[in-house]
A and B are shown apart, each in its own frame.
Chain A
């Protein structure tokens, strides 16, 4: 990085910290800190709703998947996000926002009982810590791989093996300062900054790349149809790059996983709960869905272009930043290198593996001169940090309201809980740092934890769906349903294996009864089994347990809640109109890239 790049990065840090300092004065109550005073306008909440999810895994991961699977990766947006975002805005937000619950676990206590809330709150709190740790690990790893700090470290005479630690420390401190000072408002404001930075940094990248390869038609000619169609070939798992058939994709990804995330995950729901009115809360996910619909062009397309370019070592002329001097991979994506031996890693057929995670960073280095390169890298870092901050703010809220206030110290003053929120921010980040080092040292433990989280999350949407739309659903049923769903996920995973994998972390640890054509297919079907089990068990247990008191369910269940009144507003700004527009746009995009 040259001076101009540092200037841009420094400017961004100054604004991020400045926002935290400017908001410090308005943090007077716990509601200010945890729910941004419920005063956020719809468009800000909407962009934050979308950007909170736009962390490391998203920007790097979607580019990587673009290079690996082609435009079919857009299913993660068009099938795997938009329908759920529309559903949560139109049908679920009236209960989340209308119940005045301060968190998703708190909604579960109002609707069901204490044990269901406890289960959700504790698993969610642990999960956010690990997600934030993984985000931090990804930032540090990327900074290390791109040699961003190497020049500075050399000049200062420091050992370059400290770069990883330094990167972790810097990102932790920056996130700590702004969330500690400004709470959720600070996180939301930075998510909005990050959103515009990502657009500013990635739009020229997609433009230059596409121009270079001769536009979409050029890309099609170079890569062939398997990369450039999203639905063609989905009739059978063996005829598309994803290795999934359409039913598993639509039900597993489009229904269970997507609705499970966008409709129940407090990380995103918190942004809508912070909106200033019911109508703003309902519009939050719908407004977020518009950019979400178009983001494949910013994050997936660069991956496709990276694989389509002529193979060459990615060393830019102003090489202060060098990706790798190793033999070239494919396109401009380098090969995966074993960090201990320095040799390329081989897959089971003896072919070298490509380091797909470097697709997007390689694109930045390939096309951007100093100046724009600084902007692009700043956008990447911004997305990592706000992904982390999103987890931290969700964690401190769930910890303070649902664990501390409920089980450890109920009945304290609001001032005390505000203080606790700040303390939780500090130890939440401290635990994240520990998780980041754990991810670095023990990759297997992290894989296993993520697997366990997937089991816990998979059935969640069945519980919420029944809870919100069937008044007969009982607390005991919700609790048993969740446990049964998680168990079903674990058992299904234990009995199946993706093709070519060895029994163990990838599945089959009980016995191998079925082989899936890909890991993705296995994941989707695990989710489908978990959801269905939870759905059926919850219904059955509800029918044999005592029906809940209907008087207590007003505002929490569809049939017992008066319809939300539409505020007087222009027709195009109403939630239903926004939903229709976003669905129409998504359908159109699917047809274009069929």
Chain B
């Protein structure tokens, strides 16, 4: 029932990652003095974007497995969701 949590999770982190990445790329480098000269927005944005993409891909795969499982009964419940 309901929705696959990986879908909103993927969506949220894709957007968060993208926002941080773009902001990190465009913002003034002097902003990063407090974070030890590391552009945390840029680097962490990339990580979050990758995580979001992974979750999104997993939810798509789960949805396809679900469709297959429903079209060929009887079968064990799919891994997803």
Interface of A toward B, CB cutoff 8 Å: 4, 7-8, 11-12, 15, 18-19, 22-23, 26, 32, 36-37, 39, 41, 44, 182, 185, 189, 192-193, 196, 200, 204, 208, 211-212, 276, 316-318, 366-372, 375
Contacts and interface: CB of A to CB of B under 8 A. Distances in A.
A369 B41 contact: yes
B35 A372 contact: yes
A371 B27 contact: yes
A141 B33 CA distance: 29
A185 B41 contact: no
B40 interface: yes
Contact of B2 (A185, A204, A211, A212): A185
B53 interface: no
Contacts of B48: 200
Contacts of B12: 11-12, 15, 193
Nearest to B21: A371
A314 to B, nearest CB: 11
A437 to B, nearest CB: 32
Given A4-B19, A375-B16, A22 B3 contact: yes
A196 B9 contact: yes
A371 B24 CA distance: 8
Interface string B31-42: 111111010110
Contact of B35 (A39, A182, A367): A367
Contacts of A22: 2-3, 8
B67 interface: no
Interface of A is mostly: helix
15 contacts: A11-B15, A12-B12, A32-B1, A189-B2, A193-B12, A196-B13, A200-B16, A208-B38, A208-B40, A317-B34, A367-B34, A369-B41, A371-B27, A372-B20, A375-B16
A212 B36 contact: yes
Contacts of B15: 11
A100 B27 CA distance: 55
Contacts of A211: 36
A208 B77 CA distance: 43
Contacts of B40: 204, 208, 368-369, 371-372
Contacts of A185: 1-2
Interface of B: 1-3, 5, 8-9, 11-13, 15-16, 19-20, 23-24, 27, 31-36, 38, 40-41, 44, 48, 51, 77, 81
A368 B2 contact: no
B61 to A, nearest CB: 14
A15 B36 contact: no
User: Which of B20, B27, B77 counts the most A-chain CB atoms under 10 A from its CB?
Assistant: B20
A37 B3 CA distance: 12
Contacts of B9: 192-193, 196
Contact of A369 (B11, B19, B35, B81): B35
Top 4 A-B pairs, shortest CB-CB distance: A371-B41, A369-B31, A37-B1, A26-B1
A370 B9 CA distance: 23
Given A185-B2, A200-B13, A369-B41, A375 B34 contact: no
Given A26-B1, A196-B13, A368 B35 contact: yes
B16 A8 contact: yes
B39 to A, nearest CB: 9
Given A369-B35, A375-B20, A26 B41 contact: no
A11 B1 contact: no
B40 to A, nearest CB: 5
B11 A189 contact: no
A364 B23 CA distance: 18
A318 B5 contact: no
Nearest to A11: B15
B19 A39 contact: no
Given A11-B16, A23-B3, A208 B24 contact: no
Contact of A193 (B2, B8, B27, B44): B8
A326 to B, nearest CB: 20
B38 to A, nearest CB: 7
Contacts of A370: 23, 27, 31
A4 B38 contact: no
Given A189-B5, A204-B40, A366-B34, 19 more contacts: A7-B19, A8-B16, A15-B8, A15-B11, A19-B3, A26-B2, A36-B2, A37-B1, A39-B2, A39-B81, A185-B2, A193-B12, A200-B44, A200-B51, A316-B34, A368-B34, A369-B34, A370-B31, A371-B40
A372 B1 contact: no
Contacts of A182: 2
B3 to A, nearest CB: 5
Contacts of B1: 26, 32, 36-37, 39, 185
Nearest to B7: A22
A468 B11 CA distance: 43
A18 B3 CA distance: 11
Contacts of A4: 19, 23
A11 B13 contact: no
B76 to A, nearest CB: 10
A318 B28 CA distance: 12
Contacts of B27: 369-371
A19 B7 CA distance: 10
Given A11-B15, A369-B40, A371-B24, A44 B5 contact: yes
Contacts of B36: 208, 211-212, 367
B20 A371 contact: yes
A212 B37 CA distance: 11
Nearest to A188: B5
A211 B37 CA distance: 12
Nearest to A18: B8
